[in-house]
Chain A
Amino acid sequence: MPEDQQAERVRELVGAMSPLGARTVTSSDRVVDDLGYDSVAILELALALEVEFDLQAIAEDQAVDLLTVGDIEQLVGQLARKPA
Chain B
Amino acid sequence: MTITTGPVSGEILDILDDPAPSRPAAGNTPDRSTLPGALALYARWEKGQWSVGDVRVERDRETWAALRPFAERELGDALTELEVGEVCVTRTLSALVDHAPTDDDRIYLCTQLADEGRHVRFFQEYLTTAAGIELDSALDEASAYGQLFEPQLVAATSRVRESGGDRGAWYEALVGYHLITEGVLAAAALRTTRVLAQRYGLHALHEGLGNVARDESRHLTYGLMAARRGVDDGEHRELIARCYLSGAELAARVMVNPHKKAITPVMTAALHARARQLTAQWQVGLDRAVRQLRLIGLPGLRDDVERSWSAAQRRALAEYRERWDTEHPVVLAA
Binding site for B on A (CB under 8 A): 17, 32, 38-40, 42-51, 55-58, 60, 63, 65-66, 75, 79
Nearest-neighbour CB distance to chain A for B277, whole angstroms, equals 6
Of B263, B274, B276, B277, the most chain A CB neighbours within 10 A belong to: B274
Report whether B71 and A75 are in contact in the complex, using a CB–CB cutoff of 8 Å: no
By DSSP majority rule, is chain A's interface helix, strand, loop, or mixed?
A: helix
B230-268: which have CB < 8 Å to A?
A: 263, 265-268
Contacts of A38 in B (CB 8 A): 1
Contacts of B263 in A (CB 8 A): 43, 47
Nearest-neighbour CB distance to chain A for B325, whole angstroms, equals 14
B273 contact from A39, A58, A79, Cβ within 8 A: A39
A44 contact from B2, B3, B68, B276, Cβ within 8 A: B68
How far apart are the CA atoms of A55 and B268 in the complex, in Å? Answer: 12
Say yes or no: is B69 at the interface (Cβ < 8 Å to chain A). yes
Say yes or no: is B199 at the interface (Cβ < 8 Å to chain A). yes
Q: A39-B2, A39-B3, A40-B277 are in contact. Are A46 and B270 (CB under 8 A)?
A: yes
Besides A43-B70, A44-B71, 18 new A-B residue pairs in contact (Cβ under 8 A), listed by A number: A39-B273, A39-B277, A40-B71, A40-B273, A42-B1, A43-B273, A43-B277, A44-B68, A44-B70, A45-B270, A47-B68, A47-B265, A48-B68, A50-B267, A56-B266, A58-B266, A65-B269, A79-B266
Nearest-neighbour CB distance to chain A for B333, whole angstroms, equals 9
- Which chain A residue has the least Cβ–Cβ distance from B199? A40
- Which chain B residue has the least Cβ–Cβ distance from A44? B70
Report whether B69 and A47 are in contact in the complex, using a CB–CB cutoff of 8 Å: yes
Contacts of A63 in B (CB 8 A): 268-269
Chain B 109-134, CB within 8 Å of chain A: the 1/0 string? 00000000000000000000000000
- Which chain B residue has the least Cβ–Cβ distance from A38? B1
How far apart are the CA atoms of A49 and B277 in the complex, in Å? Answer: 20
Report whether B68 and A79 are in contact in the complex, using a CB–CB cutoff of 8 Å: no
Report whether B269 and A79 are in contact in the complex, using a CB–CB cutoff of 8 Å: no
Contacts of B270 in A (CB 8 A): 42-43, 45-47
Contacts of B196 in A (CB 8 A): 40
How far apart are the CA atoms of A56 and B274 in the complex, in Å? Answer: 17
Report whether A46 and B277 are in contact in the complex, using a CB–CB cutoff of 8 Å: no
- Which chain A residue has the least Cβ–Cβ distance from B1? A39
Report whether B265 and A50 are in contact in the complex, using a CB–CB cutoff of 8 Å: yes
Chain B 273-298, CB within 8 Å of chain A: the 1/0 string? 11011000000000000000000000
- Which chain B residue has the least Cβ–Cβ distance from A75? B267
Contacts of B266 in A (CB 8 A): 46, 50, 55-58, 79
Contacts of A39 in B (CB 8 A): 1-3, 273, 276-277
